[in-house]
A and B are shown apart, each in its own frame.
Chain A
Amino acid sequence: MGAGTPSPAVRDGLQSAVKRVRVLLLSSLTLLAIAVAPLARADEFASLLSDLANGGFADKEKAVIALGRLGDERAVAVLTALKDGRLIKTPDGRILVSDAVRLTDPISSTAVSGITADEAERIRVNNRLRGAIEGAIGELTLFSSDPAARLAAAQDALRHPSADQPALLEKAIAAEQDAAIRAAMQQSLLASRLVAGSKAEKLAAVRALGDKTDPQIKNLLDQFRAAPDTDGELRQAADAALASIQNRLRLVRLAASLFEGVSLGSVLLLAAIGLAITFGVMGVINMAHGEMIMLGAYAAYVCQQLFRAFLPPGWIDGYLLLAVPVAFMFTAAVGILLERSVIRFLYGRPLETLLATWGVSLILQQAVRSIFGSPNREVANPAWMTGGFDPVGGFTITWNRLTIIVFCLIVLGVLALILNRTSFGLHMRAVTQNRAMASVMGIRSARIDALTFGLGSGIAGMAGVALSQIGNVSPNLGTIYIVDSFLVVVFGGVGNLMGTLVGALSLGIVNKFLEPVAGAILGKIVVLVAIILFIQRRPRGLFALKGRTAEAEA
């Protein structure tokens, strides 16, 4: 601007030029900011951090609020540390997060060595600041881009309801897109109203909370009811809400027991269906039935290992789809071999069949032990069978259990179709009812025997695949199920698929309902004794065939 004072026109021109430059600069800065936002924000994060450490309480509060708005995930650790008094300033001015084991630089998230917390100065907070910190943390997490973090924050708010939450939660609810998270937030909002709301709000919150099933809410209401500042009306409302929660919890527990019972029942049923064919229809008492289940489980294991070894990693979830038919074919083949080589010589001699097949079961166990070794083998659930969902709150239905229940019903249905709607089923029933007559009519009874036994064994193999999904696979797998399977078939009534279904489900459910009362093992003992007594009262089981044919079998 040379020497002397500039003219006003020049001054105006200059000013507008500066303005223009400023606009230009600003817009380019904005562009720059968009391009290098993390960098810019990192700088902001660092400068806010330094404000936290060096300013007065008012500056700190501003910095805290700014950190909350920044949306930087690293701020959560810093704010939590600040609140707990674990944020420290070193003599050389660095700001570090200290925890029980190490010091961490919050900017780079790396551990810092060569300095101890004792040499550093703790950054202090007052109550007002503490409130601001909590708000900021809630804001950071409730508005996080990660849905899991938002859900966790919403649930966390339920555990520690505080006075400044309602406003924040309301804002979060308005912004939330995900219905499940919004529900969790609303629940937390109600809980926070219990702490901070007006009497009318408290009353509304108590009533609304009565519809929930979360045990956490029950605890909260218990505390609320016991609090000294809760008046009579509120207490009454709380009592009503508690009673309704109690009721619902009882129902949930009932539903949970029922699901567990059906789940156990479906496992028993899967283990027993094959036996319902070989023992129920053919009258062959096959003590190696458990080992057929075990072989099926190992077939699943082998399929999994083959997929792991030879197929791209993305295919691994498909191994189960291959394992089911493979297990069926393999165990059916073993079953047919067993029938042709041993069992067919023992028809009509059930006790001898029992002993011979027990011998076969020992051989199969030892063979598997020799090939695969005695330790348990792990068969992983495919991704689509892991995890579960919570239908009403309070208990989880896992996908693997649910899949087994559905699978079991499909197997039973297909089997009923085979027995009642196919010519093989017709021949099978004909042979088992009157062998001589069936032979006269041209049915090759030996072939039918082998196929029937193969069918029963194959189903046991599929049961093995299912069992591999909920437990360990070991050579002893079959021995766990053999006693139970026989009891299910005898209890349900021999030769009656419907009886087997009802028998398995009722045993499963009774077992699970007894467990909370008597404990797992005692419950099982009680069930065993009850079945023994039942069989002695009704030797032919739940759904007994009656009449002359039934008596002739005796």
Chain B
Amino acid sequence: MKAPVTTDALLYLNGVTVSFDGFKALDELSLIVEEGELRTIIGPNGAGKTTMMDVVTGKTRPDAGEALFRGFADLTRLDEPEIANLGIGRKFQRPTVFENLTVFENLELSLADSRATWATLFARLTPDHHDRIAATLARIGLTALSDLPAGALSHGQKQWLEIGMLLIHDRTLLLLDEPVAGMTDSETEETAELILDLAKDRTIVVVEHDMAFVRSLGARVTVLHEGSVLAEGSIDHVQNHPRVIEVYLGR
């Protein structure tokens, strides 16, 4: 057993290494996200952003290193549903909503409620549940479309629905993988507002390519490169960082 780590951080990654057939997707990555923080993560393709999210959500087991949530939950030993039930939510790069379920049902599955198989067999929607679904529908602007199969939504609407699915379950930590990919400018602006609004009462980690969007969030930025942290700080700090410039422009 490793020596116990004591940390106050909400998310604590230390020396995390993941390799696929000799290629190191993450190379001793260390990252600390404090409770209540809004953090943006940028980096060129192959920098390890998605793999980092895979490790945090239990999809990928690291070869080495520690990943702790709230200082005690060992994320390297839990599987996806267990991690999700700790309060870590994830939004994928490509919008993944359940296309054969209606918008309403997509939200219903995301409600904070027992996830046990037996419980789902006998679950009934309470009036409170209805209210919360209605409120979320209103917030993501899909009230009128609630009975439509999610597969019939536009790309942007799917992104919104996915964010709504994260909203309705009160997650402690949200991981958003390129939330504005494929959105129009106005949709991007709305999303930025929504994220800032969400960030008031939860911790959010956003992975994004769109620098204008990152700037509009105005949060602390971590730059990943070749599987480890290259620079960290405010957007202006990292944009003037010589190594970051080299990595981004030198390619």
Measuring CB to CB, which residues of chain A are less than 8 angstroms from any residue of chain B? Answer: 546-548
Q: Which residues of B are found within 8 Å of A548, using beta-carbon distances?
A: 20, 25
Q: Which 5 A-B pairs have the closest CB atoms?
A: A547-B20, A547-B21, A546-B21, A546-B20, A548-B20
Interface of A is mostly: loop
In this assembly, does B23 line the interface, its C-beta being within 8 Å of a C-beta of chain A? yes
Q: Which residues of A are found within 8 Å of B23, using beta-carbon distances?
A: 547
Q: How far is the CA of A547 from the CA of B21 in the complex (A)?
A: 6
Q: How far is the CA of A72 from the CA of B21 in the complex (A)?
A: 78
The size bracket of the interface on B is under 10
Return the chain B residue nearest A548 by Cβ. Answer: B20
- Distance in Å: Cβ of A6 to nearest Cβ of chain B: 120
Q: Which residues of B are found within 8 Å of A547, using beta-carbon distances?
A: 20-21, 23
7 A-B interface contacts by CB (under 8 A): A546-B20, A546-B21, A547-B20, A547-B21, A547-B23, A548-B20, A548-B25
Q: How far is the CA of A546 from the CA of B22 in the complex (A)?
A: 10
Q: Which residues of A are found within 8 Å of B21, using beta-carbon distances?
A: 546-547
Q: How far is the CA of A546 from the CA of B20 in the complex (A)?
A: 6
Q: How far is the CA of A289 from the CA of B102 in the complex (A)?
A: 40
Q: How far is the CA of A546 from the CA of B60 in the complex (A)?
A: 12
Q: How far is the CA of A548 from the CA of B25 in the complex (A)?
A: 10
Q: How far is the CA of A546 from the CA of B21 in the complex (A)?
A: 6
Q: How far is the CA of A547 from the CA of B18 in the complex (A)?
A: 10
Q: How far is the CA of A547 from the CA of B20 in the complex (A)?
A: 5
Q: How far is the CA of A548 from the CA of B21 in the complex (A)?
A: 10
- Distance in Å: Cβ of B53 to nearest Cβ of chain A: 13
Q: How far is the CA of A344 from the CA of B162 in the complex (A)?
A: 34
Interface of B is mostly: strand
Return the chain A residue nearest B50 by Cβ. Answer: A548
Return the chain A residue nearest B46 by Cβ. Answer: A548
Q: How far is the CA of A547 from the CA of B51 in the complex (A)?
A: 11
1/0 per residue B13-25: CB within 8 Å of A? Answer: 0000000110101
- Distance in Å: Cβ of B140 to nearest Cβ of chain A: 29
Q: Which residues of A are found within 8 Å of B20, using beta-carbon distances?
A: 546-548
Instruction: List B13-46 residues whose CB lies under 8 Å from chain A.
Output: 20-21, 23, 25
- Distance in Å: Cβ of A548 to nearest Cβ of chain B: 6
Return the chain A residue nearest B51 by Cβ. Answer: A548
Q: Which residues of B are found within 8 Å of A546, using beta-carbon distances?
A: 20-21
- Distance in Å: Cβ of B242 to nearest Cβ of chain A: 30
Return the chain B residue nearest A549 by Cβ. Answer: B20
Q: How far is the CA of A546 from the CA of B23 in the complex (A)?
A: 11
- Distance in Å: Cβ of B26 to nearest Cβ of chain A: 12
Return the chain A residue nearest B20 by Cβ. Answer: A547
- Distance in Å: Cβ of A496 to nearest Cβ of chain B: 13
Q: How far is the CA of A124 from the CA of B20 in the complex (A)?
A: 91
Instruction: List B23-79 residues whose CB lies under 8 Å from chain A.
Output: 23, 25
Return the chain B residue nearest A546 by Cβ. Answer: B21
- Distance in Å: Cβ of B47 to nearest Cβ of chain A: 13
Return the chain A residue nearest B60 by Cβ. Answer: A551
Q: How far is the CA of A107 from the CA of B23 in the complex (A)?
A: 89
Q: How far is the CA of A547 from the CA of B25 in the complex (A)?
A: 10
Q: How far is the CA of A547 from the CA of B23 in the complex (A)?
A: 9
- Distance in Å: Cβ of B220 to nearest Cβ of chain A: 28
- Distance in Å: Cβ of B45 to nearest Cβ of chain A: 12
- Distance in Å: Cβ of A278 to nearest Cβ of chain B: 26
- Distance in Å: Cβ of A106 to nearest Cβ of chain B: 82
- Distance in Å: Cβ of B61 to nearest Cβ of chain A: 12
- Distance in Å: Cβ of B33 to nearest Cβ of chain A: 24
- Distance in Å: Cβ of B50 to nearest Cβ of chain A: 9
- Distance in Å: Cβ of A351 to nearest Cβ of chain B: 16
Q: Which residues of A are found within 8 Å of B25, using beta-carbon distances?
A: 548
- Distance in Å: Cβ of A344 to nearest Cβ of chain B: 24
- Distance in Å: Cβ of A530 to nearest Cβ of chain B: 26
Q: How far is the CA of A547 from the CA of B54 in the complex (A)?
A: 13
- Distance in Å: Cβ of A453 to nearest Cβ of chain B: 29
Q: How far is the CA of A41 from the CA of B161 in the complex (A)?
A: 110
Q: How far is the CA of A182 from the CA of B29 in the complex (A)?
A: 77
Q: How far is the CA of A548 from the CA of B48 in the complex (A)?
A: 11
- Distance in Å: Cβ of B89 to nearest Cβ of chain A: 21
Q: How far is the CA of A547 from the CA of B63 in the complex (A)?
A: 13
Instruction: List B136-173 residues whose CB lies under 8 Å from chain A.
Output: none
Q: How far is the CA of A509 from the CA of B28 in the complex (A)?
A: 44
- Distance in Å: Cβ of A551 to nearest Cβ of chain B: 8
- Distance in Å: Cβ of A553 to nearest Cβ of chain B: 14
Q: How far is the CA of A352 from the CA of B21 in the complex (A)?
A: 33
Q: How far is the CA of A118 from the CA of B23 in the complex (A)?
A: 96
- Distance in Å: Cβ of B186 to nearest Cβ of chain A: 31
- Distance in Å: Cβ of B59 to nearest Cβ of chain A: 9
Q: How far is the CA of A548 from the CA of B23 in the complex (A)?
A: 10
Q: How far is the CA of A276 from the CA of B20 in the complex (A)?
A: 24
- Distance in Å: Cβ of A459 to nearest Cβ of chain B: 29
- Distance in Å: Cβ of B103 to nearest Cβ of chain A: 26
Return the chain A residue nearest B25 by Cβ. Answer: A548
Q: How far is the CA of A548 from the CA of B20 in the complex (A)?
A: 7
Q: How far is the CA of A233 from the CA of B25 in the complex (A)?
A: 74
Q: How far is the CA of A446 from the CA of B57 in the complex (A)?
A: 39
Return the chain B residue nearest A547 by Cβ. Answer: B20
- Distance in Å: Cβ of A171 to nearest Cβ of chain B: 72
Return the chain A residue nearest B54 by Cβ. Answer: A551
- Distance in Å: Cβ of B22 to nearest Cβ of chain A: 9
Return the chain A residue nearest B59 by Cβ. Answer: A551
Q: How far is the CA of A473 from the CA of B115 in the complex (A)?
A: 55
Return the chain B residue nearest A550 by Cβ. Answer: B20
Q: How far is the CA of A499 from the CA of B24 in the complex (A)?
A: 25
Q: How far is the CA of A454 from the CA of B23 in the complex (A)?
A: 36
Q: How far is the CA of A546 from the CA of B61 in the complex (A)?
A: 13
Q: How far is the CA of A109 from the CA of B70 in the complex (A)?
A: 104
- Distance in Å: Cβ of A550 to nearest Cβ of chain B: 8
Q: How far is the CA of A547 from the CA of B46 in the complex (A)?
A: 13
- Distance in Å: Cβ of A542 to nearest Cβ of chain B: 16
- Distance in Å: Cβ of B5 to nearest Cβ of chain A: 29
- Distance in Å: Cβ of B244 to nearest Cβ of chain A: 25
